[in-house]
Amino acid sequence: LPPQMWSNGINQASKMALLAWEKETGIKLVQINGQRRYGGPPPGWVGPPPHDTEVYIGRLPQDMYEDALIPLFQSVGELYEFRLMMTFSGLNRGFAYAKYSTQHGARTAIAAFNKFQVRQGWAIVVCHSMQKHELTLEGLDASLSQGELEAMLQQATEGVLSVTLHASPYQRQAKLAVLKYSSHQAAALAKKALMEGNLRLRGSGVKVKWLHPDLKKKLQLGEEPASSSRVHGDQILAAPELAALCPALQNVDILNTLCRRQCLGTPLFFTKCLKVNPNGWMQFWYQVVIPGYPVPFSGFMWFQEVGQSWSVHQEVKAAVALRIHRVLSNTLVSPH
């Protein structure tokens, strides 16, 4: 039999049971980009789920669906979200992710269901999900600028927090980019989109991979900024991109002027301080919405207050404006 007919034949009963369960419970499952999603967040939930609350579920029977899996994994704790990976034929891909509202729920699920037999003689694997957030693009053309790459990624993927360019340790006259995303899910979807060729990257045999710990160490990518670290062009970074200590407030006016000339409207800035380190460095989240631009700009920035008369939020706003102006300048064509 053709694969489509074969898959329809062996799991027709399971599909009917799933439909009946959805109707009975009122649960709505949303399928997008090769996965089917339930939940997130539970009623009354405020804010993101805690860290380390997602478990990986492997070695699933391919004709087993949410009507059997969700009640099972809900029995040990409140689910924040459940994602089942699907094939085009309607079978599952043999694995899923369950995200709990608490770390205790995730630990209990692992203890209860790792090597649990969901069917006679069919034991599943349940363990902590590896929350990878970073990708590498290898083999990029040496002439590719950071601003150009950032603009392309903003268009083709969602949730990108930072982009850094490095001289490739594998190819001469080539660059390697490290892309950091807001979540594992965002990074996985970006990896899929980039592998499918949704982004026209200049280079010879560009490869998309998860960032390997050895390469991360080699590039010396740190999570915290060193007090003396700075970013200069496309050099290898020793820390996340740091804002200039004394950004000119005119940067916002310059960005506003560019957006006005391009008929994009006035940019709206949102900034929030997430944490302050003992050495005085502050991590800010920012988002800039430009009414006429298809996607908002968002990311993270490290900053250090040095006692100017204006507020640190104004300095962050000015530094972000400079970054976005650089990206737009590389992508927009003058209307005149």
- The pLDDT tens digits of the residues spanning 37-80 come to 888 777 778 777 777 888 989 889 988 999 999 999 999 999 99
| pLDDT confidence of residue 241 | 40
Picking from 167-171, 235-239, 300-304, which range would have the lowest pLDDT averaged per residue?
235-239
- Mean pLDDT computed over every residue of the chain: 76
Domain with CATH 3.30.160 in the chain: 248-326
Residue appearing with tokens 């459940």: 82
Is the per-residue pLDDT at 318 higher than 90?
Answer: no
Which regions of the chain carry the CATH code 3.30.70.330?
Answer: 24-128, 134-217
- What is the per-residue pLDDT across 154-188, written as a single tens digit (0 to 9) for each? 778 887 877 888 887 777 778 888 888 877 778 88
- Percent of the chain having pLDDT more than 70? 79
- pLDDT tops 70 at residue 122: yes
**Cβ atoms 176, 167 nearer than 8 A:** yes
Fold held by 24-128: Alpha-Beta Plaits (3.30.70)
What CATH architecture applies to the domain 134-217? 2-Layer Sandwich (3.30)
pLDDT band at residue 6 under the 50/70/90 scheme: very low
Give the pair of three-digit tokens for residue 41.
């967040």
pLDDT of residue 311: 67
The pLDDT of residue 199 is 63
CA angle 45, 77, 122 (to 5 degrees): 135
β 122-123/117-119 pair status? antiparallel
**Tokens describing residue 204:** 């010879």
Q: In the structure, what pLDDT confidence band is assigned to residue 207 with cuts at 50, 70 and 90?
A: confident
The reported pLDDT for the residue numbered 305 is 56
**pLDDT of the residue at 8:** 53
CATH number of the domain at 248-326, please? 3.30.160
In the predicted model, what is the mean pLDDT of residues 248-259?
Answer: 78
Range among 122-126, 203-207, 284-288 rated most confident = 122-126
Listed in sequence order, the residues at least 6 apart from 296 whose beta carbon sits closer than 8 Å to its beta carbon are 287, 288, 289, 290
Per-residue pLDDT, 279: 67
Angstrom distances, CA of residue 196 to CA of 32, 37, 116, 193, 201: 16, 22, 36, 5, 12
The burial class, CB within 10 Å (0-12 / 13-18 / 19+), for 121 is exposed
So what's the pLDDT on residue 10?
Answer: 57
Of 114-123, 190-199, 206-215, least confident by mean pLDDT is 190-199
Instruction: Find the mean pLDDT for residues 139-148.
Output: 82
What is the pTM assigned to this prediction? Answer: 0.44
Classify residue 267 by burial, with Cβ atoms within 10 Å: 0-12, 13-18, 19+. Answer: buried
Whole-number pLDDT of residue 111? 93
Q: Is the pLDDT of residue 108 over 90?
A: yes
Is the backbone peptide bond immediately before 41 cis, with ω within 30 degrees of 0?
Answer: yes
Mean pLDDT, rounded, for 320-330: 81
